[in-house]
A = this chain, B = another copy of it.
């Protein structure tokens, strides 16, 4: 079956199954993560207290761990919930927000990676480099590095993604101008989205939540990661095209990204998805 068709099938299953996606996430973009989960057809629940994360994750179809505003309590809950999810075979996705910016973030992301079996890791290039052990210039939670669309650098980045995925038996998704999604063997390059998306906080976090929804609806983690990245990219394009050129800006863009995910159609996926398999 063609890859587009598989994404469309999985999207349909999200809407049928309405997977409960347990988030332990940051307080900056949490509302957008909840809303994009609802928009695509999932059911979000945010719970991070140590007194309830074991119970809550047991009810969930997937677990999203996002370290955007980590603290010593939430990190403990992430580890406990992650291990419990592993025991129950509930897929876990990690968003290592800002790994590389401070040693606390780097150490925490690496600790989660080593103690919790992850189905997917989604980050920008700096964050993934940091997890891989390469020094990377990180500027706060933004990537200073960006995936170049061609040349030898792109080749290196693909190799790194594959190596990281193979080492941890996971799927690695690096998002940027070009997105790379790989399980260590198959690798997809995606060229969807628009650069203005970087001017709205949480487009990365929202992408992670979408992957969480797809993970909760199927059992192919590579496809789930690809579907999440492609969905977010197409939504960004549609949102950008929906701006009236004179007055609209990034406030409207965020609203329209949620609208686009809510309305995401078979036709849009077929006509817009720009996926290359390697």
Q: Verify B59–A140 contact, CB threshold 8 A.
A: yes
- Which residue of chain B has its CB nearest to the CB of A263? B249
> What is the CA–CA distance of A199 and B182 in the complex, to the nearest angstrom?
32
25 chain-A/chain-B pairs, Cβ below 8 angstroms: A20-B139, A34-B201, A38-B200, A38-B201, A38-B250, A39-B250, A43-B139, A45-B101, A45-B142, A46-B68, A47-B102, A48-B69, A55-B102, A56-B140, A59-B101, A59-B139, A60-B140, A71-B73, A199-B262, A247-B259, A248-B259, A249-B263, A251-B256, A251-B262, A252-B256
Per the 8 Å Cβ criterion, residues 27-47 of A in contact with B are: 27-32, 34-35, 38-39, 43-47
Nearest 9 CB-CB pairings of A with B:
A251-B258, A249-B262, A45-B140, A249-B259, A55-B102, A52-B104, A34-B201, A251-B255, A52-B102
Q: Which residues of A contact B (CB under 8 A)?
A: 20, 22, 26-32, 34-35, 38-39, 43-49, 51-52, 55-56, 59-60, 68-73, 98, 101-105, 139-142, 198-202, 242, 247-252, 254-263
Tell me which residues across on chain B come within 8 A of A46, comparing CB atoms.
26-28, 68-69
Q: Hey, which chain B residues are within 8 Å of A248, CB to CB?
A: 259
B49 touches A72 (CB 8 A): yes
CB-defined contacts of A45 to chain B, threshold 8 Å? 98, 101, 140-142
Cβ-defined contact, B250 with A43, below 8 A: no
B contact residues around A39 at 8 Å (CB): 199, 249-251
**Oligomer copy total:** 3
Flag if B254 contacts A249 (CB, 8 Å): no
* Whole-angstrom distance between the Cβ of A254 and the nearest chain B Cβ: 7
Chain B residues lying within 8 Å of A48, measured Cβ to Cβ, are 69, 71
Which residues of the other chain, B, contact A51 by a CB distance below 8 angstroms? 71-72, 102, 104
| C-alpha spacing A199/B141, complex, angstroms | 29
B28 x A34 contact (CB < 8 A) = yes
Residues in B whose Cβ lies below 8 Å from that of A31 = 28-29, 31-32, 201-202
